[in-house]
Amino acid sequence: MRKSSAIIFVLLGTLSLGFSSQTLAKGLFVNWVFAVEKTDCMATCGKTGLKYPTPTGIDRKIGKPSFFICATEKKGWRAGFNKMGENTCTTVFDDKVHHGSEYFCQCTNNPRPKIFR
């Protein structure tokens, strides 16, 4: 499987979780949380029982996850990323970048997913 195919598979699997709490493995939970106060996913998830946003990328300048999975509405729900400190969910639709100001963050109770260990 090519690397890009694997990334698309993971992203589509993430979207299939829906907007309700899900148990992925024993003791591991994820949930979609609406960013009500227009905060980034780190702050949004920190206010829930799950506490951690699901990371999708690392900022090499600071050496820790800084991009997190989110979903915003643009002619249907689209997966995207929220960058630490920003209050939008960035996605692509019709070959154009869209910054959704109303979005959901994917939150988890796992502080460090295996991919970042």
Minimum mean pLDDT range among 35-39, 78-82, 106-110, 112-116 = 112-116
- pLDDT value, residue 16: 44
pLDDT band at 20 (very low <50, low <70, confident <90, very high): low
3-state SS track over 34-77? ECCCCCCHHHHHHCCCCCEECEEEEECCCCEEEEEEEEEECCCE
| Parallel/antiparallel/unpaired status of strands 28-34 and 52-53 | unpaired
Mean pLDDT of the region 43-50? 90
Gap between the Cα atoms of 60 and 66, Å rounded:
9
Specify the higher pLDDT residue, 50 or 115.
Answer: 50
